[in-house]
Amino acid sequence: MNILPTVMPDEFAPGYLGRIHILNLLGKPNQTLKALIDYFALQPSRIRRIEALAFAAKTSTQLFVQNHTLIPANSAISENLGGVCHGHPKYGALFSHSWNHLQKSGVYFCPQCVDEQRGCLGFSYWQRLNQLRGVSWCSKHFCPLLGCPENSLTIATPNVDLATNAAPEIEPEEPYWPVVKRYSEIMHGFLRRGFRAGRSDVARTIRAVAARQAIYMGTNNGCDLLSDIAVSQLPAWWLKELFPSIHTKQLGVPFLPFDNTLLNDHAQPHAFALAMALLYRSSKKALVDMP
Ligand SMILES: [Zn+2]
């Protein structure tokens, strides 16, 4: 192992591994990972892939998990581990296989961010935020993200020659835009929070906001379902990326993967992020309110 590049802010862990791979020319990507594990003489464990990358990046496993994987978003809201730090070594089993949960299929970049990275660093890298489901536009430049096949991570750093698809252009006058923008900002906020929030605490907070907006929460019949509001306001393709089974949703009937956020039952963190994006007018306020 000759070259261990400096990890960049918000660099996506598999992309960092890809840069190590590209710079060291060690056969296949999994051979690079094995070489890293050998280089640092790591004992067998479920988390040594991440440990190896953390060592390469000269940081702790916990900070590497916090700053370079999707785990902080994936574990932002937790059933019974509220208050636990992301990447805490005690919970290694929980993050050993989930560093890329909530990742879109393929891998994404913003062409303008990439130009800026090249101008200032001399190279570009894969950013973590752009890989999250439902994040389809750059949060800085508001341009559509370009999508590439997943193996691009280990072939090259982001560049337009790799791109095979793109999100549609933004239509800022459309009512969906403020909602998807808030959703991105809230997911970004999840990535930056250092610990899990308890699910019932989050539910209590957003139910109080929903109560002021006549939204259905289990007993108040005649009120609007949050899922009906989402379907009426948001592009179908975008919603499908968050909830692959959204096509089964019927008007007036709760769609549990999403409405459970207000029914005080299990729902994924990205469902909570969308609920907050619909219920709050400001993503900052939504994040400040989070327990
Ligand atoms: Zn950008």
Distance 108 CA to ligand 1 centre (A): 11
Which of 166-190 are b and which e, b meaning 16 or more Cβ less than 10 Å from the residue's Cβ?
A: ebeebeeeeebeebbbbbbbbbbbb
- Per the domain annotation, does 257 fall within a domain? yes
Same domain? 118 vs 182: no
Q: How far is the CA of 109 from the centre of ligand 1 (A)?
A: 8
What confidence category does residue 82 fall into, taking pLDDT thresholds of 50, 70 and 90? confident
- 182 and 280 housed in the same domain: yes
What percentage of the chain has pLDDT greater than the value 90?
A: 76
Paired with 11 in beta bridges are 127
In this predicted structure, the answer to whether residue 88 has a pLDDT above a threshold of 90 is: no
**Residue-level pLDDT at 95:** 62
Is residue 112 domain-shared with residue 134, that is, in the same domain?
yes
CB-based burial, 52-82: b 16+ in 10 Å, e otherwise: bbbbbbebebbebbbbbbbbbbbbbbbeebb
Element (H, E) at 19: helix 13-24
**Which of these, 49, 56, 83, 78, lies nearest to 194 by C-alpha position?**
83
- Ligand 1 centroid–CA 137 distance in Å is 8
Tell me, in angstroms, the distance from the centre of ligand 1 to residue 234's CA: 23
Does residue 117 share a domain with residue 205? no
Give the residue-averaged pLDDT of 117-122.
96
Give the mean model confidence (pLDDT) for residues 180-194.
95
Domain match, 37 and 142 both:
no
Which structural domain range is residue 132 located in? 107-166
Last residue within a domain, chosen from 95, 115, 131: 95
Residue 6 lies in a domain: no
Predicted TM-score (pTM) of this structure: 0.94
Q: Same domain, yes or no, for 18 and 81?
A: yes
The answer to whether position 244 is within a domain reads: yes
pLDDT of residue 258: 98
**Is the same domain home to 181 and 155?**
no
In-domain check, residue 250: yes
* Same domain, residue pair 62 and 119: no
Question: Does 87 have pLDDT greater than 80?
Answer: no
Q: How far is the CA of 130 from the centre of ligand 1 (A)?
A: 9
Q: Are 51 and 81 found together in one domain?
A: yes
157 inside domain: yes
User: What percentage of the chain has pLDDT greater than the value 70?
Assistant: 97
List, for residues 210-240, the tens digit of each pLDDT value. 999 999 998 877 889 999 999 999 999 999 9
Give the model confidence (pLDDT) of 8-40 as tens digits.
Answer: 999 999 999 999 999 998 788 889 999 999 999
The answer to whether residues 117 and 91 belong to one domain is: no
Q: Note whether 150 and 195 are same-domain residues.
A: no
| Confidence label for 169 from pLDDT (cuts 50, 70 and 90) | confident
- Ligand 1 centroid, distance to 115 Cα (angstroms): 9
Which of 62-71, 126-135, 166-175, 249-258 has the least mean pLDDT? 166-175
Query: What kind and span of H or E run contains 50?
Result: helix 48-56
- 141 Cα: distance to centroid of ligand 1 (angstroms): 4
The answer to whether residue 208 sits within a structural domain is yes
pLDDT on residue 114: 97
Indicate the residue among 142, 166, 190 that finishes a domain: 166
Confidence of residue 94 (pLDDT cuts 50, 70, 90): low
258 alpha carbon – ligand 1 mean position (Å) = 29
Q: How far is the CA of 143 from the centre of ligand 1 (A)?
A: 7
Number of domains observed in the structure of the chain: 3
> Among 126, 223, 111, 230, which residue's Cα sits nearest to residue 182?
230
Residues 6+ apart with CB under 8 A from 94: 75, 81
**Boundary-marking domain end, from 95, 119, 140:** 95
Q: Is the pLDDT of residue 168 over 80?
A: yes
Tokens of 115: 């130009």
* Ligand 1 centre distance from Cα of residue 255 (Å): 33
Number of helices (H), then strands (E), belonging to the chain: the values are 15, 5
Domain-located, residue 171:
no
Instruction: For residues 128 and 187, state if they share a domain.
Output: no
Is residue 181 assigned to a domain? yes
Confidence of residue 170 (pLDDT cuts 50, 70, 90): confident
Percentage helix, strand, coil for the chain under 3-state DSSP, each rounded to 5? 50, 10, 45
